[in-house]
Amino acid sequence: AQSVSQHNHHVILSEAASLELGCNYSYGGTVNLFWYVQYPGQHLQLLLKYFSGDPLVKGIKGFEAEFIKSKFSFNLRKPSVQWSDTAEYFCAVNYPLNTGGFKTIFGAGTRLFVKA
Amino acid sequence: GAGVSQSPSNKVTEKGKDVELRCDPISGHTALYWYRQSLGQGLEFLIYFQGNSAPDKSGLPSDRFSAERTGGSVSTLTIQRTQQEDSAVYLCASSLSDVQGGDYGYTFGSGTRLTVV
């Protein structure tokens, strides 16, 4: 079965620190890649996505992610975090099924806490 | 509607009872997904609909779980003879699904928090 691994389950940073959350996936073919964010008490929201082209994609709120095909990775970064970035972050991979559809699987999530 | 709507938002049920969870996707979204979110477990894939058909049911935990979608719109997830381990947040998401190019990101509902006592 395909899998998505997020290396850190909990991350604690001070405001203005830089952030990098790791994500690796197992599927060997063409994939679409996503990062979702869930702020406390809110539902999951799409942060950014990669389909093709420039492997460095920019999302909302200053987040970016880099797709490195050779490493099966799609790490999320932000140069300077804010207290309001406290949330849970999920990496997701979308890949084709033999039935002709597509399936998206999620990593276990990383809880980020930013100290003011 | 403007977003994905799920009902009820909270459900407390006794062990052994059946429950039905409802998802109303964004109008025009052909793909609909059910996930389960348990504390510390991330999102567990349950089932995926493209239109009214379910190409992938592999995530349903047991034969107590079933789902259907009618009219390419509303979907219901039914859990029969609920057990305490079924307690979780059940999330529904919809997407403009391009079969050629993959999904374009999901819009999630707020979820149904199921508690089995």
Kindly list the residues from chain A whose CB atom is less than 8 angstroms away from the CB atom of residue B104.
Answer: 32, 49, 51
CA–CA separation, B44 and A15 (whole Å): 32
Best of B33, B36, B43 to disrupt the A interface (most A CBs within 10 Å) is B43
Kindly list the residues from chain B whose CB atom is less than 8 angstroms away from the CB atom of residue A105.
Answer: 45
B109 and A CB contact within 8 Å: yes
Structure confidence by residue, pLDDT tens digits, A95-115: 888 877 788 889 999 999 999
CA–CA separation, B58 and B60 (whole Å): 6
Could you read off the pLDDT tens digit of each residue along chain B, which spans 117 residues? 579 999 999 999 999 999 999 999 999 888 899 999 987 678 899 998 888 888 788 899 999 999 999 988 999 999 999 999 999 999 999 988 766 556 678 899 999 999 999
What pLDDT is stored for residue B108 in this prediction? 93
Nearest residue in A to B59, CA atom: A105
Residue B57 neighbours by CB under 8 Å, 6+ apart: B47, B67
Neighbours of B65 (CB within 10 A): 18
CA–CA separation, A70 and A65 (whole Å): 15
Give the distance from residue B77's alpha carbon to the nearest chain A alpha carbon, in angstroms.
18
| Share of chain A residues as helix, strand and coil, in percent rounded to the nearest 5 | 10, 55, 40
**Encoding tokens for residue A45?**
């929201």
CA–CA separation, B76 and B63 (whole Å): 15
Beta-bridge partners for B69: B75
A50 and B CB contact within 8 Å: no
A100 and B CB contact within 8 Å: yes
Give the distance from residue B7's alpha carbon to the nearest chain A alpha carbon, in angstroms.
14
* Inter-chain touch B102–A51, beta carbons under 8 Å: yes
What pLDDT is stored for residue A103 in this prediction? 84
Structure confidence by residue, pLDDT tens digits, B85-110: 999 999 999 988 766 556 678 899 99
Of A45, A49, A106, the CB nearest to B43: A106
Q: Which of A42, A41, A89 is nearest to A65 (CA)?
A: A89
Interior/surface letters B53-64, b for 16+ CB within 10 angstroms, e for the rest = ebbbeebbeeee
